[in-house]
Amino acid sequence: MRAFVFPGQGSQKVGMGVELAGASPVAREVFQEVDDALGQKLSAIMAEGPEDQLLLTENAQPAIMANAIAVLRVLQKEGGITLTEVADCVAGHSLGEYTALCAAGSFTLADTARLLKLRGQAMQAAVPVGVGAMCALLGADLEKAQALADAAAEGQVCQVANDNDPTQVVLSGHREAIERAVAMVKDHGIKRGVLLPVSAPFHCDLMRPAADAMERALDQTPPGALHLPIYANVTASAVADPAEVSRLLVEQVCGRVRWRESVLAMRAAGVEHFVELGGKVLGPMIGRIDADATVTSVATMADIEALAKEIG
Say if CB 99 and CB 68 are below 8 A apart. Answer: yes
**pLDDT > 90? residue 198:** no
Q: What domains can be seen in the chain, in order of their start residue?
A: 2-126+206-311 (3.40.366.10), 132-198 (3.30.70.250)
Catalytic residues, by residue number, are 94, 203
Q: What per-residue confidence (pLDDT) applies to 199?
A: 81
d(CA 207, CA 40): 26
What CA–CA distances, in Å, run from 172 to 139, 204, 242? 17, 6, 29
Q: What per-residue confidence (pLDDT) applies to 129?
A: 86
> What is the rounded average pLDDT of the residues 251-280?
98
Residues 6+ apart with CB under 8 A from 27: 17, 20, 21, 70, 71, 73, 74
Q: What per-residue confidence (pLDDT) applies to 264?
A: 98
Report the 10 Å Cβ neighbour count for 151. 15
Cα–Cα–Cα angle for 60, 229, 116, nearest 5°? 20
In Å, how far from its chain's centre is CA 59?
Answer: 14
In Å, how far from its chain's centre is CA 195?
Answer: 19
pTM (global) more than 0.85: yes
